[in-house]
Amino acid sequence: MNVEDILKGQTLEDRIYRLRCVEAWSMVIPWVGFPLADFIRKCEPTSRARFVEFTTLNDQRQMPGVTRSVLEWPYLEALRMDEALHPLTILAVGLYGEVLPNQNGAPIRLVVPWKYGFKSIKSIVKIRFVAQQPVTVWQIAEPNEYGFYANVNPAVDHPRWTQATERRLPEFFMRKTLPFNGYAAQVASLYSGMDLKRDF
C-alpha cells in the first residue's frame, strides 16, 4: 500500500499538539493529518493484534546518518493497540500548513502527543499488527534510559537529567513538565493499575 492509498478517502485535520523531547525541550506544533485509528480500521487486523509496529525508511543515499552504529537501523517503534486507536494519535502528512518536509518525516509519520518525541516515528515505510510486544530501537540501544511506553512523566528522570522541567522553544526559561505532556485527562486511563515508574 502506498501513501496515496493510505490517504484515499481521508479527511485531513489540523491538530495543534505539544511535543516534548526526552532531552527536556518542547514545542507546540500545528500538524496536518488524520487519526491512526482510521487507517487501522481500514486494514481490519484480527483480534490477535495487540500491538502496532512501525518501521522507518532506511536509505543510506538519502540518509547518511543510518551508516553510523549509534542505533540499529531501520528505526522501529511500536504502540499498544489501545494507544494506537486513541483519538489523539495521528498519522501526520504536514505541519505548519505545508506538506511534511523530509527532515520532519515525509511522507508520513506518527504523532503521539502524550509520549516523548522519539515515539513519534518518522518516514514510515511499514506498519505491522503483531501479537507480541516488539522490542524497539531505543530499548535495544539504551534499555535503562528509554522504555517501551515512553509516556511523559516528570516523576521519572532520565539517568542523566531531570524530566521535571523543560524549555519550551523558543523561550529561554524553564517550565514544569506536565504528566502525559498535559494530556492526562484524555489518556491516563489507558495505564490504570500500571506502575509508571517501572513501565516507563
- If we measure between CA atoms, which residue out of 62, 80, 176 comes closest to residue 122? 62
Q: What pLDDT is stored for residue 65 in this prediction?
A: 82
The answer to whether residues 19 and 117 touch, using CB atoms and an 8 Å cutoff, is: yes
Q: What pLDDT is stored for residue 126 in this prediction?
A: 95
User: If residue 129 lies in a helix (H) or strand (E), which one and from where to where?
Assistant: strand 124-130
Q: What pLDDT is stored for residue 27 in this prediction?
A: 97
pLDDT tens digits, residue range 109-130? 999 999 999 999 999 999 999 9
Q: What pLDDT is stored for residue 59 in this prediction?
A: 86
- How far CA 10 is from CA of 4, 39, 84, 162, in Å, comes to 10, 9, 17, 40
Q: What pLDDT is stored for residue 34 in this prediction?
A: 97
Q: What pLDDT is stored for residue 68 in this prediction?
A: 81
- Output Rg (C-alpha) for the chain, integer angstroms: 16
pLDDT tens digits, residue range 91-105? 999 999 999 999 999
Domain residues of the chain, as ranges?
3-189
Q: What pLDDT is stored for residue 150 in this prediction?
A: 97
* CA–CA dist 190, 112 (Å, integer): 13
User: Residue 55: beta bridge partners?
Assistant: 76, 126
**Phi–psi pair at 125, nearest 5 degrees:** -120, -15
Architecture of the CATH domain 3-189: Alpha-Beta Complex (3.90)
Locus of grid cell 494506537? 84
Q: What pLDDT is stored for residue 104 in this prediction?
A: 94
Q: What pLDDT is stored for residue 92 in this prediction?
A: 98
What is the mean pLDDT, run by run of 10 residues, along the chain of 200 residues? Answer: 83 97 98 97 95 94 82 94 98 96 95 98 96 96 94 96 97 96 98 93
